[in-house]
Amino acid sequence: MSHDAVTSEAVPSAQTIELPTLPALVVGKVSHTRRTPLKHAFTNRQYQWLVDVDDLPRHGWPLRAVTRIEARDHLDEGRLGGGIRGDVERFLAHRGVTLAPEDRVVMLANARVLGHVFDPLTVFWCLAPDGSLRACIFEVHNTYGERHAYLLDVDAAGRARTDKAFYVSPFNDTSGEYSISLRLVPKRVTVTVGLEREGQRVLTATTTGVPRPATNATVARTAARHLLMTWRVSAAIRVHGIWLWARRLPIQPRRPHSQENVR
């Protein structure tokens, strides 16, 4: 199913989400398993931020150097005002979904670390005051500086499917379908994305972790244990890409991607 086909009537309200204390650091790991045509798997330790976009982290120096979450790194870059929330509201409105002023927008993302950020996947949960899910947005980034956002039709169990429409890896074209599973509860955040093509699972990526309130002490300790985390994410992607290329995994051609898909 294409993300463009999802309307406000299609977005479920049966799922009710109980949130941990925000802002939080979700400390855990990311794993990636490629099944075909070449088998390759890895697991890395990581942390992400879980935040209300209306109440972003505001740490002083020096923690500010590892806690900045900025509109320019997401969706339409805050181009028309209103920050990240403004971009979310416009993205949803263009697809037939109205976000009420009292609704919350909770985001799972990376913060800038010493000025650098790379966010392979950002998730936005848009919640009514009672915790019911209004909408869910998947924002995917690639290493070419492009991004694409999907409006997901999430069922009550946190599952969704959507056609792949964005070139992420140089070893996969835009064919196939994503099978997605989301879990957001006070003690665990897990996002699993599987790429399926012609009934076959091509790869699976999972990020999972435990939310911890983002106190100064927790931020300092976590940033020290995961030194230069976003820099390492960028480096690891390139290292694994070189490994696959060296084993002659075919590179798929890429076309420039329209940023209209994040507006």
pLDDT of residue 168: 87
User: Is-above-0.85 flag for pTM?
Assistant: yes
CB-CB contact of 257 with 148 (8 Å): yes
Cβ-contact 140, 147 below 8 angstroms: yes
Distances (CA, A) of 26 to 92, 142, 155, 219: 26, 22, 23, 11
Whether residue 14 has pLDDT greater than 70: no
| Proportion of the chain above pLDDT 70, given as a percent | 94
**In the predicted structure, residue 55 carries a pLDDT above the cut 80:** yes
- Per-residue pLDDT for 2 more than 50? no
Q: How confident is the model at residue 137 (pLDDT cuts 50, 70, 90)?
A: very high
Tell me whether strands 177-185 and 24-34 are parallel, antiparallel or unpaired.
Answer: unpaired
Q: How confident is the model at residue 174 (pLDDT cuts 50, 70, 90)?
A: confident
Residue 245 pLDDT greater than 90, yes or no: no
Residue 7 has a pLDDT of: 34
User: Above 60 in pLDDT, residue 238?
Assistant: yes
- Lowest average pLDDT, out of 11-25, 104-118, 178-192, goes to 11-25
What pLDDT, on the 0 to 100 scale, is given for residue 104?
97
Please give the average per-residue pLDDT across 193-214, as a whole number. 95
Q: Where are the domains of the chain?
A: 3-246
State the average pLDDT over residues 27-42.
Answer: 89
The Cα-based distances of 261 to 28, 82, 147 in angstroms read 30, 19, 8
Q: What integer is the mean pLDDT of 97-102?
A: 96
